[in-house]
Amino acid sequence: MNTIAIAMFLAVVAISLAITRWASRRSKSRSQFYTADGTLSGFKNGAAFTGEFLSAATFLGITGIYFTSGYDGLIYSIGAAMGWPVLLFLLSDRLRVMGRYTLTDVLTYRLNDPSLRIFSAGATVIILILYMVAQLVGAGLLIEFLFGLDFMWSLFLIGLLMVTYVVFGGMVATTWVQIIKAGFLWVMGLVLAIGVLATFDFSIEKLMTAAVTKHPNGINILASSGFTSVGASMSAALTQAVGIAGLPHFIMRFFTVPNVTEARRSAAYATVFIGGFYIVMIVIGFGTIALLNGNPDYAVGPALLRNGNNMAPLYLAHALGGDILLGVCAATVFATILAVVSALTLAVSAAISHDLYGMVIRKGEQTEAEELRVSRIAAMVFGVFTILLSLVFKEQNITFLVVTSLSIAASSTFPILFLACFWRSLTAAGAFAGGTAGLICAVSGIILGPTVWVSVFGFTTPIFPYQYPTIVSLPIAIVITISVSLLYTKKPSSTPA
């Protein structure tokens, strides 16, 4: 048991709980709880955006992909950064104008129809379940690694903390935990990258030569191995390019700033911060190959680490700086996970309490106190459910799980969101039909594809060939949305949510 790492871990928990206590006094109203009353500056919100996006999937999962396959890690990094220009140049202005609390508010700004609210809230829950599972798997593995606790008990510990932050702190606590965590993660990334470069005399050539020499695939790590067909590559790229713009917890961030200008600035700051971090990740990723492969302290086989390849950055920290740097790295990763799972839980609880309970069941007649009570109950239920589901996906690379959730977002919420912003002929019937079709196709493709059909169910060959079905499900969603909207042109009365 690493006492230094545990001490750092407990310090992170103490700081985050202090922030939550402070924020609880500022989360009394619905607006404060969901959107921090729209008072954040573009810089603060951009930093919080960065904290939400640079999750455990980024630091643990993508580094694990680098260690396993080399170049594929770079593909996932570039793909992940592709979504931000979509948010920045296409959607940020309109989202801030059309939204109030949630993604559903944006979708129903022009089309105030109960069916659309039901679809949007349901899609939000499904998308964020997978996103949450990825974070919880990373958290469970980390606590299991540090404390020697069983994976199941590790999950319950992180779940308890997660629900505490959301139930008592709301968006204010979530935002400040995100901002602080983003700073920690950037510093940690720079320390690891500089440590790797220093080991190889600050020579990229020496680093890459050592990585090629140490990896069992040799020079092949400089080419893609995970995307074996043009279709698979295109589907993965499409998933990451537009999936981010359909993530409900990212959409909520645009409502935490006071105006359109600050919304645009927050997306611009996030693009710079996130893109820069992925450049640093290249050095870290290939550094894990060069320094960990073949090292009996960490590796248990060719391109295989003890406790799984998701642990690559933690082992790299230990290889570079011993227990002290490992402790700092572990605490940083844990802060990363806490911040992201809090944001996800908040988005789901808002979808259930505001969109379903408040606007569909109570038809806007609920009191703020009543809605907040339902929101907190929803947060607790969501936490328990995703913890149980995480036990099934323990062995999966967490980046794969996150991109799977992006595929669902790219196929269901994104096309409807995009058309709601830019196509005046969109109808509620078309949006519901197209969004539901995209959702069903994406979920079916994932279940029948390699991620679930092979890795979880244990079958030899997947029924659907691609890991991410976006290349099929997104066009289906768009075609059905447009077709039904043109065929069924009657629009319900329109009132902002």
The whole-number mean pLDDT for each consecutive block of 10 residues of the chain, a chain of 497 residues, reads: 72 76 65 69 87 77 89 80 73 75 76 84 87 81 76 79 67 77 89 96 94 92 74 82 83 82 86 90 94 91 86 93 87 76 79 83 81 83 85 72 86 91 90 94 91 82 89 95 86 45
Tokens of 195: 């440590």
In 3D space, the residue among 112, 120, 86 whose CA is nearest the CA of residue 434 turns out to be 120
The pLDDT assigned to 210 comes to 94
For the stretch 316-369, pLDDT in tens is 999 999 988 988 888 888 777 777 777 778 788 888 888 888 888 888 777 878
For the stretch 429-467, pLDDT in tens is 999 999 999 999 999 998 898 878 887 788 889 999 888
Cα–Cα distance for residue pair 157/143, rounded to 1 Å: 9
Cα–Cα distance for residue pair 346/169, rounded to 1 Å: 10
The pLDDT assigned to 497 comes to 43
- The full set of domain ranges for the chain reads 3-400
The pLDDT assigned to 165 comes to 64
The pLDDT assigned to 397 comes to 64
* Contact assessment for residue 182 and residue 174, using Cβ atoms and an 8 Å cutoff: no
Q: Name 304's bridge partners.
A: 301
Longest Cα–Cα distance of the chain, Å, equals 68
CATH number for 3-400 (one of 3.40.1120.10, 3.40.50.300, 1.20.1730.10, 1.20.272.10): it is: 1.20.1730.10
- Residues 6+ away with beta carbon under 8 Å from 479: 434
Is 305 in a helix, a strand, or coil?
A: strand
What is the C-alpha end-to-end distance of the chain, expressed in Å? 52
The pLDDT assigned to 167 comes to 64
CB-based burial of residue 230 (10 Å sphere; 0-12 exposed, 13-18 middle, 19+ buried)?
Answer: exposed
Is 312 in a helix, a strand, or coil?
A: helix
Tokens of 285: 């990723």
Tokens of 62: 């993508």
Count the neighbouring beta carbons within 10 Å of the beta carbon of residue 457: 10
The pLDDT assigned to 379 comes to 82
The pLDDT assigned to 495 comes to 45
* Contact assessment for residue 360 and residue 114, using Cβ atoms and an 8 Å cutoff: yes
The pLDDT assigned to 444 comes to 94
Cα–Cα distance for residue pair 112/93, rounded to 1 Å: 21
Q: How far is CA 495 from the centre of its chain?
A: 31
The pLDDT assigned to 169 comes to 61
Look up tokens 């790797």; give the residue. 196
The pTM of the full predicted model, rounded to 2 decimals, is: 0.79
Tokens of 60: 């643990």
